[in-house]
Each structure stands twice: as C-alpha cells, then as structure tokens.
C-alpha cells in the first residue's frame, strides 16, 4: 500500500502535489479493498476530499489513475 505519511509534510509540497498524493492513496486503498471495477470516481473524490476537476486534471481518466497507482506501488 502507499505510505499514508503520518509525518508532517514538508512545507515545500504544493497543494497540487498534496492533492495528487491524496488521490493516489485513496484510489489505492479503495481499489485494494473494494476492487477496481467496484470503485467509482465519485467514491474516490468523496473520500479523498479532492474535486472531480482536480482528479481529471492530474490523471485524465480512471484508467490513468489506476496506471499511476500501479506505478507508485511498483516504485516502493
């Protein structure tokens, strides 16, 4: 699973980076818990607290978000 980061985040992280991290962590958790097909975009944005627009600006689609989750997990 992605590190949920209980440590305080460094001040140099922008809101953009923080929102992207929230989306990745939430998507990873929900995909693992509920399944990829059972997890909708609405649920990811609701639980992450990030807007739908922000999700699509960062990833463009659920498929791209899933790819980013796999890449993040592979790099751990």
Taking residues 52-76, what's their average pLDDT? 95
The pLDDT confidence band at residue 5, using thresholds 50, 70 and 90, is: low
Q: Is 67 left (phi over 0), alpha (psi -120 to 50) or beta?
A: alpha
Domain boundaries, the chain: 15-74
Q: What is the pLDDT of residues 19-44, one digit of tens each?
A: 999 999 999 999 999 999 999 999 99
Q: What gap in Å lies between CA 73 and CA 30, rounded to an integer?
A: 14
In CATH, the architecture of 15-74 is: Orthogonal Bundle (1.10)
pTM for the structure as a whole: 0.80
Name the CA radius of gyration of the chain, rounded: 12
């Amino acid at each position: 699973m992605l590190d949920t980061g209980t440590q305080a985040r460094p001040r140099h992280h922008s809101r953009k980076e923080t929102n992207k991290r929230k989306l990745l962590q939430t998507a990873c958790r929900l995909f693992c818990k509920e399944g990829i097909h059972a997890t909708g975009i609405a649920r990811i944005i609701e639980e992450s607290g990030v807007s739908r627009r922000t999700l699509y600006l960062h990833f463009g689609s659920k498929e791209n978000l899933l790819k980013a989750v796999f890449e993040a997990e592979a790099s751990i």
